[in-house]
Chain A
Amino acid sequence: MNGKVAKEDLDSRIFDTLNIILLAICTVVIVVPLWNVIISSFSSGKALAEGGFIFWSPEFSLENYRAVFNDSNIWQAFFISVSKTTIGVVTHVFFCAMVGYGLSKKHIRGRKLYVAMGVITMFFSGGMIPTYLLIKSLGLLNSFWVYIIPALFSFYDVVILMNFFRNVPDSLEESAKIDGAGDWHIFLKIFIPLSMPAMATIALFNGVGQWNDFMTTKLYITDQSLYPLQMMLYEIIVQSQTQSMQNVGGSAVIETTTKGVQLATIVITTLPIILIYPILQRYFISGMMLGAVKE
């Protein structure tokens, strides 16, 4: 009996050790490339041209960032990215919550039809060209609002919020109704504050989507003053790739300066998400706990 337990202990310990080693390798595989990008972005052009470093750069310099920040386009793009993300997230969450609240009421006329219409949009879409023609005929080409209006609604998010609203106890709503409150009042004053955790989760995903989106720009925007960071970075990447291919065996100087600019832009483009992610993560985890205690 004792021998058996000891053997199991040993097996289990081998399993744990192997598990930890493998997961440690996984984290290294993720962290090292990211770390390499960051220190490369702080490297001088000379160090980038020679290469040969992985963890630490032989020559640090801020020249890449200076070059990027001296370009007025980056400030414009940063402004566009921030405004389209904040306006987009707030309007999207509010719009979806409004529809989700309405559909969470079971006794509503036409509810079955509404839900059926929504479910169909989850599986069928017109695709790229018909949508482009629609956006064009609505006059949204080269307009800031093309970032906001077509992104207002997502039936997935409506369903999530609908289910969340359904879990709010009926008694809250009934007592408010007795006090003479209308549906809009109940939605704005009771349901929205109670649903912060669910809305924060949707806001996080939608915000990341908005920040990272570049297809909208590529499809509908030709006006450079409306380019967000992602599109600027895309242009830099495409340019440097064609350049480096033309320069095979040629000038290494051009390649490394564009490479430095590219790296610095990558870091600047990603930084806001990396900074905001842990804050929101903590918020929505604690928010879910609160929701659970209230029930």
Chain B
Amino acid sequence: MKEFVIDYRRQWEIQSMIIPGIIFMIIFCYIPIYGLTIAFKNYTVIDTLSSAPWVGLENFRIIMSDKYFWDAVVNTLGISFLKLGIGFVIPIILAIMIYELNSGRFKKFVQTISYLPHFLSWIVLGGMLITWFSTTGLFNQLLLSLGVISQPQNILLDAGKYWWIAVLSDIWKEAGWGTILYLAIMSKIDPTYYEAAKIDGASRLRQIWNITLPNMKSIISLNLILTVSGLLGSNLDQTLVLMNSQNRDKAEVINSYVYRMGMSQGDFSYATAVGLGVSIVSVILLVTANKITSKLNDNQSVL
């Protein structure tokens, strides 16, 4: 104990740099984690965290029979798995295509342009989408001039198409940005592999399949794990901008439901219970994805 104090005193300068960070984490990360206990309480505005009465699993029981919650689950899973299925592969393909470009200037140009949408906020992009999809907007004009449709219509008001709008707009925004990491990895691949393959007469596609992709395997797995663990928690900003009274049934996701129940209707305990359930499922997804990918990567765990 004495040794402990002496060490701290000797290291006071360094400790004085770390301790503020630790205090920050205790206040802003650990107190909210403790605050999750209100999921098991009946918290009302007049209560404090400790005075609210315990109700056990009552909130979770209500969740099970809550139709709106299950609608939100279906939408979240639908949108997220479409995003995963399409949106995960496109950056990989795009990165390989950019990597295969010979011309330096065009390469730079493509990269700069493709990163650009990432820097738009969902509010800005939401505003743009609303303009593009309006009856006089870009989207309808294009379809009209191509003769695909004869009457302009606002597809943002068409609930049946909302999932696709959510998925495709997300890919449009993030695909280019997703290539950065892959390009960084590819630039480290030893060029002699390609030279050897060329001498053996391997075609360009063959080189990609047998050299580029295997070299990216571990970073792809890592990315997949992180994406899968975030599956249930995403889409809040996007949903809040793009959701309207016409497409609500197909647009509401778990996070926006938590927001609506908690912040708009003041049902804090119930909203926290929903959020907690989602976090638990997310951790299970994370662990499972890590197990599966480590099997694929010759039992080397990526995390």
Give the interface of A toward B (CB within 8 A).
4, 8, 11-12, 15-16, 19-20, 22-23, 26-27, 29-34, 36-37, 40, 48-54, 95, 98-99, 101-103, 105, 108-110, 114, 117-118, 120-121, 123-134, 138, 150, 152-153, 155, 158, 182-184, 187, 208, 211-215, 218-219, 230, 233-234, 236-237, 240-242, 244-245, 259, 262-263, 265-266, 269-270, 273-274, 277-278
Contacts and interface: CB of A to CB of B under 8 A. Distances in A.
Nearest to B229: A123
Given A214-B121, A241-B244, A245-B157, A23 B31 contact: no
A134 B32 contact: yes
A23 B101 contact: yes
A126 B22 CA distance: 17
B33 A124 contact: yes
A220 to B, nearest CB: 10
A211 B123 CA distance: 11
Given A30-B176, A54-B138, A123-B283, A19 B101 contact: yes
Contacts of B268: 129, 133
A108 B136 contact: no
B94 interface: yes
A127 B276 contact: yes
A191 to B, nearest CB: 11
A234 B241 contact: yes
B116 A131 contact: no
Given A30-B113, A123-B283, A245-B244, A230 B138 contact: no
Given A23-B97, A129-B262, A259-B134, A108 B110 contact: no
Contact of A27 (B34, B109, B131, B262): B109
Nearest to A138: B27
A125 B17 contact: no
Nearest to B31: A134
A153 B28 contact: yes
Interface stretch (B4-12, B70-78, B209-217): B4-12
A234 B38 contact: no
Given A53-B141, A127-B32, A127-B272, A237 B136 contact: no
Interface in B204-252: 204-205, 236-237, 240-241, 244-246
Contact of B15 (A109, A269, A270): A109
B29 A36 contact: no
Given A30-B116, A128-B259, A277-B119, A269 B124 contact: yes
Contacts of B98: 23
A230 B258 CA distance: 22
B100 interface: yes
B128 interface: yes
Query: Which of the four size classes fits the interface of chain B?
Result: 35 or more
20 contacts: A23-B101, A30-B172, A51-B140, A54-B142, A98-B20, A99-B17, A99-B20, A109-B15, A124-B33, A125-B279, A129-B275, A134-B27, A134-B32, A134-B35, A152-B24, A153-B24, A155-B25, A234-B240, A270-B120, A274-B119
Nearest to B154: A244
Contact of A126 (B35, B157, B258): B35
B33 A126 contact: yes
B272 A37 contact: no
Contacts of A266: 124, 127-128
B14 interface: yes
B271 interface: yes
Nearest to A48: B136
Contacts of B101: 19-20, 23
Contacts of A53: 141
A187 B14 CA distance: 10
B173 to A, nearest CB: 10
Contacts of A182: 13
B219 to A, nearest CB: 17
A175 B14 CA distance: 18
Given A27-B113, A183-B17, A187-B17, A130 B127 contact: no
Contacts of A114: 18, 21-22
Contacts of A138: 27
Contact of B123 (A99, A233, A240): A233
Contact of A208 (B18, B97, B119, B131): B119
B286 interface: yes
